[in-house]
Structure 1
Amino acid sequence: MDTVVKVELVEPGSDLEAREVLMLDLRHELTQLDVESVSTVPGGPAPPGSKGLDMAAAAALLVQVTGSVRALDVLVSTIRTWLQRRQDPGRSVKLTIGEQTLELSHATSEQQERLVQEFLRSQV
């Protein structure tokens, strides 16, 4: 099973540079997993006055996962743990596979686990 997961950081009101730093940190963690690739989503040009990388693409990654639903579970668990370590209640991460999207937020662990299991079951 080859699966591409779009990972988007949702943080209303944050500045682009702060989001880029967060996504670089998340990208680093995801590259430590047994995944085929982690890349940024191509975006538009950087806003006027910004510096560095394409800031419009800083809030989204594409992760290619090869293997079983277990590999997807590890990916989702890693993202959940990453999100929990950052205590901003307004921040969430959307995971999209095909037409299905799962949004991880600061809901209770039990609520998130139930949603994750339903999402993973739908990928079988």
Structure 2
Amino acid sequence: MRDNASAGGRTGDGATEVLLVVAPDPELDAEAAERPVRRLRSEIAALDVDSVRAASTGPAPAGAKGADPVTAGAIVVALGASGGVLTALVDTVRDWLARSAARHRVTVTIDGDTIELEHASDTERRHLIDAYVRRHSGG
């Protein structure tokens, strides 16, 4: 099993692992930040993906009171070899961000290539996402 440092690449069976790290709006408390991350994870699970799991980050430090919101928002998504699912995944994240009034930020990493999705105009975001998806589709 991969840990979150190495997640975000190809698996032995030709699937692609995508690491999503959700940085919740810093104005939210831990519980309020966790709810939208759970909704995003549920929306991703409804897609035609092979699996969705929390990224392994190891044990919590001694004295920690619960998970760090950023760590709690680390998700590994395994995509099958068939095309189109990456586009659907990124569109789902983009739509989730657009529906939220909070200032969440999501980083998407594949094979060490990371894109950060947050506050950008719709046009800027679309151009960045399209270029990123093209780099990782079909190959």
The alignment's TM-score, normalised by the length of structure 2, stands at 0.76
Which residue of the partner structure matches residue 9 of structure 1?
22
Which residue of the partner structure matches residue 40 of structure 2?
26
Confirm or deny: 8 A CA contact 1:40 1:61 kept in the other structure: yes
Which residue of the partner structure matches residue 82 of structure 1?
96
Per-residue CA deviation, residues 4-63 of structure 1 (Å, 9 max, x unaligned), is 01111123524333332221111111110000000001233276444xxxx244111000
Which residue of the partner structure matches residue 72 of structure 1?
86
Give the strand-richer structure, 1 or 2: 1
Q: Which amino acid aligns with 1:65?
A: L
Once the two structures are aligned, what percentage of the paired residues are identical? Answer: 30
Give the alignment partner of residue 128 of structure 2, picking from 107, 115, 121.
Answer: 115
Which residue of the partner structure matches residue 60 of structure 2?
45
User: How many residues matched?
Assistant: 119
- Structure 1 residue runs of 5 or longer lacking an equivalent are none
Which residue of the partner structure matches residue 114 of structure 2?
101
Q: Any runs of at least 4 consecutive aligned residues in structure 1 with deviations exceeding 6 A, and if so which?
A: none
